[in-house]
Structure 1
Amino acid sequence: MDPPIPMSPQSTENNQTRNEITITEMQLNTGENQREFRLKIGDRPSIHVTVTPSATVVDQWITQTVNYDMQKLVGRLLVGLGVRWFENNHNADTLQLCVGDRCLIFQLTRADAVPLNFRSFLMDKRINFVGIHNSEHKQKLLHSRHRLEISNRVFDLRFHAKDNNGNSLQYTPAGMIKQQYLSLRANVVSLKDHHRIWSAVNLTLKQIKFACIDAYAPYRLGMCVAASEFEVDG
């Protein structure tokens, strides 16, 4: 494993201002199985968030978002990855992906099917997936309703980055890393019990914010530490 790379001073917002997050649902004629949002973190560019259990919508998202980037790619594609489940359940209820300013929240438990290109995407060796405290994600996906497999190119950024003081992030809670890196208020990266039911038909705005940050934060941090160039040991 490569030695951890310190984040540059420009890569974090270490002032005392905490960014507000706003989320707006886009009133599009997308049908009941697709919801679209604009999520804004402070003065950063908006993130386009798609929430769906639909295999058709996921197929389109992969084609439009990922395949387009792969055509321009030199090296590997970097993808932020998050997984959510209810308490001690073994199965993943949602899977979150972030590429650039686009985020997908795939409601696995509610999905009737998973498109073939999505399964191929998860196993693609040209992609580096990054997360934070993600050691359980592979098993949670494998035990999900659709038995999803993912490649071995999944990296936990705690072992590849340091804070601006040169300290390891290995033992830092995921919420604290996201909170500090994106300069967020603490309540954005924590959920109360009634917001933890990820198999719900309609996720709350609080859940959608949380799930988006779950994938967006490691994507942005991964960009800072050149995570697209990481290699698997052995």
Structure 2
Amino acid sequence: MNQSIVAHQVQDHRYRNYDVYFYGDSILIIVTADPEIVTHWITDVEFDVSFRDVVGLDIEWRPNYGQTQNPVATLQLCVGHSCLIFRLLHCHSPIPQSLVTFLDTYTFAGVEIEVDVEKLERDHGLIVSYSVDLNEAFGLVYQIRKNAGLKELCSVVLLKEMVKPAHITRSRWDYRFLNEEQVEYACIDAFVCFEIEKRLNTSGYGCNWL
């Protein structure tokens, strides 16, 4: 099995910690709805000397049925082997200014990221100022137009297979507490976005064109 999750024993009720393992990579995850914990995560990222100003981004929400358009429930951000899962719907304090500034300052990578960016602004007033769509970056490197999902890009660029079961993809992301399958899924999506961008950047597309 190429992916797994291990929960930490944490005494602080404001967050939960996990390690997710994906093809030998270990990713430390913080799951929280607390603005102060979000700020701590951002501060740690910005003080990391290896931070390249690029962040993997993904979002999840309760599946839409009929005309219902459910709001973004979780925001996943990943830098290196550190991932934040911010449970936006359960944040009962104002969204921290640290996150607003973070989203306005750095470059965020994802598949069809313009959809996620628009939904974050519409649902929560969060503005992502700089973004890169991984399909466009792939086209610049390989000179091939591609309209692929994250799973296919992961297979082509990283040579790794993602597991994306439908019962998790379309699960209740708006629940107060995410289960371990949801945490693992959400983390790996953001981590793979970060890793694909890093690989494509190394191959020469460069994020300076954004």
Counterpart of 1:47 in structure 2 is 27
Counterpart of 1:105 in structure 2 is 85
Structure 1, residues 149-197: CA drift from partner, whole Å, max 9, x if none?
111x1111111115x9x57362222232235536235xx2233168521
Higher relative contact order (CA 8 A, sep 6+): 1
Counterpart of 2:128 in structure 1 is 150
Runs of 4+ in 1 over 6 A off after TM superposition: none
Aligned partner (choices 83, 89, 96) of residue 115 of structure 1: 96
Q: How does 1:32-181 map to 2 (within 5 A)?
A: 33-44=14-25, 46-65=26-45, 67-69=46-48, 72=49, 77-88=53-64, 89=69, 91-112=71-92, 113-124=94-105, 127-144=106-123, 146-151=124-129, 153-161=130-138, 166=142, 168=144, 170-179=146-155, 181=158
Percent identity between the two aligned chains: 26
Q: Which consecutive residues of structure 2, in runs of 5 or more, have no partner in the other structure?
A: none
Q: 2:147, 2:44 → 1: CA distance?
A: 37
Q: 1:110, 1:169 → 2: CA distance?
A: 39
Q: 2:184, 2:98 → 1: CA distance?
A: 26
Deviation at 1:114, TM superposition (A): 1.1
Root-mean-square deviation (Å): 2.6
Q: Which consecutive residues of structure 1, in runs of 5 or more, have no partner in the other structure?
A: 1-18
2:62–2:171 Cα contact (<8 Å) kept: yes
Deviation at 1:58, TM superposition (A): 0.4
Tell me the TM-score normalized by structure 1: 0.77
DSSP-derived class of the 2:166 partner: coil
Q: 1:208, 1:98 → 2: CA distance?
A: 13
The one-letter amino acid of 2:128's match is: I
Q: 2:86, 2:149 → 1: CA distance?
A: 25
Aligned partner (choices 182, 186, 199) of residue 207 of structure 1: 182
Deviation at 1:82, TM superposition (A): 0.6
DSSP-derived class of the 1:29 partner: coil
In the alignment, structure 1 residue 28 sits paired with structure 2 residue 7? no
Deviation at 1:213, TM superposition (A): 1.4
- Seen in structure 2, the aligned counterparts of structure 1 residues 43 and 199 have a Cα distance that, compared at 3 Å, is same
The one-letter amino acid of 1:158's match is: N
Q: 1:193, 1:101 → 2: CA distance?
A: 22
Q: How does 1:182-193 map to 2 (within 5 A)?
A: 183-185=160-162, 188-192=163-167
Q: Relative to total residues, which structure has the larger helix share, 1 or 2? A: 2
Q: 1:77, 1:108 → 2: CA distance?
A: 23
Deviation at 1:61, TM superposition (A): 0.7
DSSP-derived class of the 1:224 partner: helix
- Seen in structure 2, the aligned counterparts of structure 1 residues 87 and 183 have a Cα distance that, compared at 3 Å, is same
DSSP-derived class of the 2:58 partner: strand
Number of residue pairs matched by the alignment: 202
Q: 2:149, 2:50 → 1: CA distance?
A: 32
Counterpart of 1:225 in structure 2 is 200
